[in-house]
Amino acid sequence: MKNHVFRPLIVVIGIVLLILAARFVYVPKDFGSYERGYIYSWHRQGDENFWNKFTIKYQGKEYCKDCHEKNFTSINKSPHRIIICENCHGPAIDHPSEARSKLVIDKSREQCYRCHVKLPYPDTARGRIKGFLDPEQHNPGMECVTCHDPHDPKLGGA
């Protein structure tokens, strides 16, 4: 083969080898197409661990049971038993460890409005919940929990 063909060819081959070498260094070893094949799972397997080890914040209702037995039993007797503690008390995360010994309770009117603003929607679960069409007419500015115990709303007083 003639020299003027051969020399640029060497340069091209050199560039290709360089790219392959760079790719070898740069692409993580665990990159590959796993269970779902090339189209759907061409990925870095290590990332699955990242998502699997994400910090859990909401611990669920049973988590509170042992220390807060009194509140746990009282709410279980009321219609509010379907609401998990953390919906109002905030995510437990690693409570009661020192860093988060105290949870911030959401006592706002808006928290109650989520369900107890009456929406005139026929044949919906929302339409059947007791509530106000215009809650701002009812003791405006006061926290609902001043009069209504959220753990036992039927008692009508805290």
Tell me how far, at minimum, the Cβ of 1 lies from another protein, in Å.
18
Of 14 and 136, which CB lies nearer to another protein in the complex structure? 136
- Residue 42 lies near another protein (rule: CB under 8 A): yes
| C-alpha span between 105 and 143 (Å, rounded) | 12
| C-alpha span between 122 and 37 (Å, rounded) | 48
Among 56, 8, 48, 16, residue whose Cα is nearest residue 30 = 48
> 45, 32 in Cβ contact below 8 A?
yes
Q: Which residues of 115-152 are buried (b: 16+ CB within 10 A; e: fewer)?
A: ebbbeeeeeeeeeeeeeeeebeeeeeeeebbeebbbbb
What binding mask, one character per residue, do residues 79-118 give for another protein by CB under 8 A, x or -?
---xxx-xx--xx------------------x--xxx-x-
- Residue 126 lies near another protein (rule: CB under 8 A): yes
- Residue 121 lies near another protein (rule: CB under 8 A): yes
Tell me how far, at minimum, the Cβ of 103 lies from another protein, in Å.
12
| C-alpha span between 141 and 26 (Å, rounded) | 60
Tell me how far, at minimum, the Cβ of 92 lies from another protein, in Å.
11
Residues near another protein (CB under 8 A) are: 31, 34-37, 39-44, 47-48, 50-60, 82-84, 86-87, 90-91, 110, 113-115, 117, 119-126, 129
